[in-house]
Amino acid sequence: MDIKEIGEFGFIEQIADRFKSLVPKSIYGIGDDCAIIPANETEDFVVSTDLLIEGVHFLRDKITPFNLGYKSLAVNLSDIAAMGAEPVGAFLSIGIPKDCSSELLDGFTEGFMALSQKHDTPLLGGDTTKSLRDLMINVTVIGKCPKEKALLRSSAKARDVIAVTGNLGDSAAGLNVILNNAELNSDTKHLIEKHNKPEPQINEGLWLAKQNGVHAMMDISDGIASDLNHILKASEKSAVVDLQKVPVSEILSRTAKKYDWNAAELAVSGGEDYELLLTISAECATDIAQQFYAEFGKPLHIIGEVKAPVEKAIQWVSGEEKLPDFKGFNHY
């Protein structure tokens, strides 16, 4: 059978099923942003790995080496943030083709290091090999959190509100700018920067994990149209999401207008925003949002509500009006 038929998530389900019986009860394996492994009496380790392949995840001549290094660690740290955990260290495996200059590798290392320093994530090891054509970068990150306090995708409860930590769609618009060779100005440069140099929400994740009433959390890598489904499936729930409440930056709004792009679609289906998507008990949501603003100087956006399970996982609305479905990013 062709991979297209089972899809990325079908393949993951197949391997998860096959290995299930080998995973000890104390370990949480495939299925969340990180695996969870007991560290000691009071703490758990969380571990995640992400692969970036030239031509699939980045174009070598459309991203600075510094930003490529930064992004390689950022997309991994984002999964640590998604658990509400604190980074411990990182491993870097890299396949380098012959035509990679030492300047590129230098810049890459600088960018990787800049984010390592920002979040105290030392590089602890890795592997280096030749690649025949494409530059390939695999990063593994380890984090830690208080025992059994990692925020899972499976903890959403009916009547929770659904929240996101920042604007969505800038990154996807940045990719559009790159692929369409759109004219460079301060707006389009900002969008490209959002795509090429995402910020993992480590401090926000740590803070949110400490608040009573925060239930489920994950990071937004494929767009909420896909990612929210993971929370709903794992928690056996459905949801209503109001497009009018999905936060979109001024810059995205005016750039989308200029090029006739659908800003709402980029926001929910685009992906690679690396903001956090979470559910919060309705009673605590207003307080938590206020405290979040006081702590981080930016709003926590409430975009919808978790419901009891029904056939349609997500009902998209715009105010009172029901909307058709959106699809998130899928590799196949």
Residues that bind Mg ion (CB under 5 A): 33, 79, 219
Residue among 107 and 166 whose Cβ is closer to ligand ADP: 166
Q: Roughly how many angstroms between the first and final C-alpha of the chain, as a whole number?
A: 13
* From the list ligand ADP, Mg ion, none, partner contacted by residue 31 (C-beta under 5 to 8 A by kind): ligand ADP
Residue among 104 and 277 whose Cβ is closer to Mg ion: 277
Supply the minimum distance, in Å, between the C-beta of residue 183 and Mg ion: 33
302 phi, psi to nearest 5 deg? -95, 120
Q: Which residues of 201-222 are buried (b: 16+ CB within 10 A; e: fewer)?
A: bbebbbbbbebebbbbbbbbbb
Supply the minimum distance, in Å, between the C-beta of residue 302 and ligand ADP: 23
Residues that bind ligand ADP (CB under 6 A): 12, 15, 30-33, 50, 79, 221
Supply the minimum distance, in Å, between the C-beta of residue 213 and ligand ADP: 23
Residue among 141 and 256 whose Cβ is closer to Mg ion: 141
Q: What is the DSSP string of 209-249?
A: HTSTTEEEEEE-SS-HHHHHHHHHHHHT-EEEEEGGGS---
Supply the minimum distance, in Å, between the C-beta of residue 174 and Mg ion: 19
The DSSP call for residue 20 is G
Residue among 187 and 227 whose Cβ is closer to ligand ADP: 227
Supply the minimum distance, in Å, between the C-beta of residue 278 and ligand ADP: 14
Residue among 31 and 97 whose Cβ is closer to ligand ADP: 31
* From the list Mg ion, ligand ADP, none, partner contacted by residue 50 (C-beta under 5 to 8 A by kind): ligand ADP
* From the list Mg ion, ligand ADP, none, partner contacted by residue 15 (C-beta under 5 to 8 A by kind): ligand ADP
216 phi, psi to nearest 5 deg? -110, 150
**Complete edge-to-edge strand list for the sheet that includes strand 276-280:** 214-219, 276-280, 161-164, 301-307, 238-242, 314-318, 321-322
